[in-house]
Amino acid sequence: MIQREDMLELTRRMTPKRTSFTRIAGAYMDKDGEIDGSFNTNFLKLSASEKEKNLAVAKTIPFSETNEQLKEYRFPAENEKSKEIWRLLTAVKSCGLKNDALMDAFYELVGREYRADEDYAVFVFHDRYDVPVKAADKERMGESEEVYEYLICAICPLTGDYEPGRPECGFLFPSFKDRSSDWNHVAVYQADPGHLHRELMEKILYLK
């Protein structure tokens, strides 16, 4: 079960002045899953308008309706495919999106399995959040004792010339639980819980 306050703690920092996002990478895909172009850049070097636009995309995932649009899933320990994607995502996170071969492997996996009726984009964000120590009354006490390093992936339809629309699905990895990393879980976002992109859960993340 995802705690709303955990997600709000992350999204409160997703503003141009407060963000600690280190990097953004992405690929533009045609509706058949072929890569039409990609990018990989230091997030803090973006213009103010680009930061704001991309933060809005990233923020959609953790700020969505908790336990309705955004649900937590455990990586099945017995599933070899699940172990492979877990290792890939962990490697992508650990390199801070700086390994293009790993990024391409992820884009190609999405391209093979994702089902779309139109061209779309895959955006991946990397962040390192120094989690501040808090007292029982939730008042901040001082410096952090843990760094929550994580990825946000957003899959968005393209609304114009390489312009992403509102994400249709995505995920937060690893999960953020009790203000700490939960390596065994991933939080999966679906914009419309009544019409799921099951391929994200079943053929990309291998959660079932």
Q: In total, how many domains does the chain have? A: 1
| pLDDT per residue as tens digits for the range 150-206 | 999 999 999 988 899 999 999 999 999 999 999 999 999 999 999 999 999 999 999
Residue 135's pLDDT is 60
What 3-state class would DSSP assign to 111? helix
CB 31 within 8 A of CB 119: yes
Going by C-alpha positions, the residue among 23, 25, 27 that lies closest to residue 120 is: 27
| pLDDT per residue as tens digits for the range 107-160 | 999 999 999 999 999 999 999 999 988 765 555 556 667 899 999 999 999 998
Is pTM, for the whole model, over 0.85?
A: yes
Given its phi and psi angles, is residue 129 left (phi above 0), alpha (psi -120 to 50 degrees) or beta? Answer: beta
Tokens 């995505």, located at residue: 170
What domain range includes position 169? 4-204
> Which residues, listed in sequence order, are joined to residue 173 by a DSSP beta bridge?
151
Residues whose CB is less than 8 angstroms from the CB of residue 194 and which lie 6 or more positions away in sequence, other chains included: none
Banded model confidence at residue 18, pLDDT cuts 50, 70, 90: very high
CB 36 within 8 A of CB 28: yes
Residue 36's pLDDT is 95
